[in-house]
Amino acid sequence: MTKRYELNELIRSDNFIDGKWVVSAGGKRFDVTDPATGKVIAQVADSHAADARAATDAAARAFPAWRDTLPKDRAAVLHRWHALMVENADALGRLISLEQGKPFAEGRGEVMYGASYVAWFADEATRIYGDIIPQQQRGKRMSAIKEPIGIVAAITPWNFPLAMIARKIAPALAAGCTVVGKPAEDTPLTALALVMLAHEAGVPAGVLNLISASRDNAVPAVADWLADSRVRKITFTGSTPVGKYLARESAGTLKKLSLELGGNAPFIVFDDADVDAAVTGLLAAKFRNGGQTCVCPNRVYVQSGVYERFADLLTTRVAALKVAPATDPAAQIGPMINARAIDKIARHVDDAVSRGARVLTGGKRLPELGPTYYAPTVLADATPEMQLSCEETFGPVVPLFRFDDEAQAIHAANDTPFGLASYFYSQDVRRIDRVARQLEAGIVGINEGALASEAAPFGGVKESGYGREGSKYGLDDYLSIKYLCQGGLE
């Protein structure tokens, strides 16, 4: 039987190191607030380098035994963790809504999504095959085996407080690695709750360690991991500048990195598209989490022949979206995460309007709901000079760019340093093949807006980073290959 917890029982405020809840070495705390109201939900440990070091020490002590645990036994622990997540999906979903602001249905959906990676990697743990290499010389036997890389440091963002960390911890533990982690300062509570459930599931002391830190103290805490040669891998989801910083700073100890960084996803609608389906797909892809995901379409290119019809249909559907606090069962879009986020959205829209964009719906804050709400927005006549064309807006704003031919659309779509997700709608099989091959992106949605799946490889190209999460490739990032050559066999 798995235990079902109340929401308040899941709220933890200390660090989890070596199987115990401990206060930070400096004894300091920082506030976690409800993004809708600014009200303090909890005060969590404000960790520093000493706490990061204690986590690494614990992970180093635990590594040999966890590495040598039978894969099927590691899998069993992960399956128990998965069961606990599913059993507690309602409370975890509410906790996500509380600290992150997404509507409850989406919060619960995120729990199930994150849990699906845990189940997936539990199974993958038992399938870490190596190779027997065909014999090259008499008397010699050559093989390749896969081993856990060692201690993994996981650093995650606020937009998916559960899924982002689950899809890093699960493959790391499946591979036999031990973990030190730091969730985003805006949303540490869900990650702490998840670690509590992992402990209950039987993850041994020291195998999984989590510290929280304010934005300022995250820098020295993570810097300790970057400089520590015992930490063999960094897995990070977040912004491109921070990803580049982590790559630079970990070069001193040549760590392996997985970086899932910013996107600037194009969404192309060709004249031969099913326009209704394209609108539905765009709504699914764009407005998840209020537009605050790295795979949200940021630039929507619509071919001239369907531009007006697409804009009309889209505007009607976007204007009908319900913006409300996460606790409102009818809410489709909640508050944005913080003041910095909403200021960026307003700046992008204002800049676009000042450069000639037309507001078809939205285009304003919603102060009557609270300081962090923004109306779902459609802008027509977007152009490449606008800020929202080159930077991720990370909010509920759809800019519509007009194009005339396929080459122009592909050029515009690829004209960015980023390459995470991309989408296009067309019913012409030859065009589908051509465009899918030409888009510079790690992920391509073809007549589909909902792409997430634990069975698929998620990750980017160019400055969106490297490494893949999920799928049969997802474990590779946590393994190293050892070549064994045995001689004297004749």
Is 228 near ligand ADP (CB under 6 A)?
Answer: no
CB contact burial 57-89 (16+ within 10 A = b; e otherwise):
bbbbebbeebeebebeebbbbbbbbbbbbbbbb
Is the Cα dihedral 65, 68, 73, 76 positive or negative?
A: positive
Task: Sort strands 131-133 and 141-148 into parallel, antiparallel or unpaired.
Answer: antiparallel
Is 194 near ligand ADP (CB under 6 A)?
Answer: no
Contact between 169 and 177 under an 8 Å Cβ cutoff? The reply is no
Whole-angstrom Cα Rg for the chain: 23
Residues 18, 185, 392, 406: which binds ligand ADP (CB under 6 A)? 185
Residue with smaller CB distance to ligand ADP, 155 or 197: 155
Residue with smaller CB distance to ligand ADP, 185 or 476: 185
Residues 2, 33, 37, 239: which binds ligand ADP (CB under 6 A)? 239
Residue with smaller CB distance to ligand ADP, 239 or 408: 239
Among the listed ranges 33-41, 145-153, 177-185, 227-235, the one in contact with ligand ADP (CB under 6 A) is: 177-185
* Total residues belonging to the chain: 490
Site string for ligand ADP, 146-175 (x = CB under 6 A): ---------xxx------------------
Distance in Å, CB of 238 to ligand ADP, minimum:
3
Residue with smaller CB distance to ligand ADP, 213 or 360: 213
Is 222 near ligand ADP (CB under 6 A)?
Answer: yes
Is 362 near ligand ADP (CB under 6 A)?
Answer: no
Distance in Å, CB of 370 to ligand ADP, minimum:
20
d(CA 227, CA 468): 24
Angle between helices 275-286 and 304-319 (to 10 degrees): 50
Is 227 near ligand ADP (CB under 6 A)?
Answer: no
- DSSP letter for 457, please: -
The three-class DSSP label of residue 133 is strand
Q: Which residues are catalytic?
A: 260, 294
Q: Which residues pair with 187 in a beta bridge?
A: none
Site string for ligand ADP, 82-121 (x = CB under 6 A): ----------------------------------------
Is 219 near ligand ADP (CB under 6 A)?
Answer: yes
Nearest to 207, CA basis, from 243, 241, 254, 174 = 174
SS3 content of the chain, % helix, strand, coil (to 5): 40, 20, 35
Residues 62, 179, 184, 352: which binds ligand ADP (CB under 6 A)? 184
Is 242 near ligand ADP (CB under 6 A)?
Answer: yes
Distance in Å, CB of 430 to ligand ADP, minimum:
39
Burial of 185 (0-12, 13-18, 19+ CB in 10 A): buried
Among the listed ranges 96-104, 196-204, 216-224, 468-476, the one in contact with ligand ADP (CB under 6 A) is: 216-224
Residue with smaller CB distance to ligand ADP, 303 or 464: 464
C-beta atoms surrounding 171 within 10 Å: 28
d(CA 473, CA 489): 34
Distance in Å, CB of 262 to ligand ADP, minimum:
8
Residue with smaller CB distance to ligand ADP, 26 or 71: 26
Would you state the structure tokens that stand for residue 24, as one six-digit string?
């930070």
Which residues 6+ apart lie within 8 Å of 63 measured at CB? 148, 150, 151, 177, 178
Among the listed ranges 47-55, 96-104, 218-226, 358-366, the one in contact with ligand ADP (CB under 6 A) is: 218-226
Count of residues that interact with ligand ADP, criterion CB under 6 A = 14
Distance in Å, CB of 49 to ligand ADP, minimum:
12
Nearest to 302, CA basis, from 275, 327, 328, 276 = 275
Contact between 464 and 420 under an 8 Å Cβ cutoff? The reply is yes
Measure Cα distances from 489 to 92, 294, 317 in Å.
Answer: 57, 54, 72
Nearest to 399, CA basis, from 432, 353, 439, 344 = 353
Is 33 near ligand ADP (CB under 6 A)?
Answer: no
Distance in Å, CB of 182 to ligand ADP, minimum:
6
Residue with smaller CB distance to ligand ADP, 163 or 242: 242
Residue with smaller CB distance to ligand ADP, 115 or 155: 155
Is 245 near ligand ADP (CB under 6 A)?
Answer: yes
d(CA 296, CA 283): 10
Task: Sort strands 131-133 and 40-45 into parallel, antiparallel or unpaired.
Answer: unpaired
Distance in Å, CB of 60 to ligand ADP, minimum:
21
Distance in Å, CB of 243 to ligand ADP, minimum:
7
Task: Sort strands 465-466 and 256-260 into parallel, antiparallel or unpaired.
Answer: antiparallel
Distance in Å, CB of 456 to ligand ADP, minimum:
23
Residues 171, 206, 238, 474: which binds ligand ADP (CB under 6 A)? 238
Residue with smaller CB distance to ligand ADP, 93 or 238: 238
d(CA 469, CA 472): 9
Binding site for ligand ADP (CB under 6 A): 155-157, 182, 184-185, 215, 218-219, 222, 238-239, 242, 245
